[in-house]
Amino acid sequence: MMDAYDPDNIFGKILRGEIPCHRVYEDDDVLAFMDVMPQSSGHTLVVPRTGSRNLLDAHPAVLATTIERVQDIAKAVKKAMNADGIRIAQFNEAVAGQTVFHLHFHIIPMYEGVTLKPHSGDMADNDVLADQAKQIAAAL
């Protein structure tokens, strides 16, 4: 049995405006913002406003809308960051690498010859993240 969704998670707090983020995009369905511990330059997260623990307990309609937004934002990330490719990642439960228990999709730009940094590694510079968020928003 999976644990229930707990709204007191860090992305729940970001969605409610209780803690800040470097916002890339938002609408009635999703919020997209920069990952503070990026695996590559431009690493962006897309989070549905409707809470679920992960993909496994999400409503199919939420998944459908969210993946459409992931596509749009991935294209903008690729363009703004001049990336060579994009990796989409999504983890379900701690054993699979999930650390924040509110459904989210990782948009990770890939660059020729550049190895990804570890998942949940070093914090990025705030000014750099703010600048990247602006550039990606402008490419949407």
Give dist(CA 96, CA 55) in Å, integer.
Answer: 12
Q: How far is the CB of 22 from ligand AMP (least distance, A)?
A: 8
Decide if 135 contacts 23 (C-beta within 8 A): no
Q: Give, as ranges, the residues between 2 and 31 that touch ligand AMP (CB under 6 A).
A: 10, 21
Q: Which of 35, 65 has the CB closer to ligand AMP?
A: 35
Q: Which of 22, 43, 102, 104 is catalytic?
A: 104
What are the tokens at 107? 């948009």
Q: Please list every residue from 79 through 108 that binds ligand AMP, using CB under 6 A.
A: 91, 97-100
# of chain residues touching ligand AMP (CB under 6 A): 13
In whole angstroms, the minimum distance from the beta carbon of 99 to ligand AMP comes to 4
| Three-state secondary structure call for residue 25 | strand
CB closer to ligand AMP out of 10 and 110 = 10
104 noted as active-site residue: yes
28: which residues sit within 8 A by CB, 6+ positions away?
A: 49
Q: Which member of 23, 26, 37, 55 binds ligand AMP (CB under 6 A)?
A: 37
Give the other-Cβ count within 10 Å of 11's Cβ. Answer: 21
Taking CA atoms, 23 is separated from 35, 56, 74, 84, 98, in Å, by: 10, 26, 15, 23, 22
Structure tokens at 39: 């695996």
> Does residue 55 touch ligand AMP according to CB under 6 A?
no
> In the complex, which residues of this chain contact ligand AMP (CB under 6 A)?
10, 21, 35-37, 45, 91, 97-100, 119-120
Catalytic positions are 104
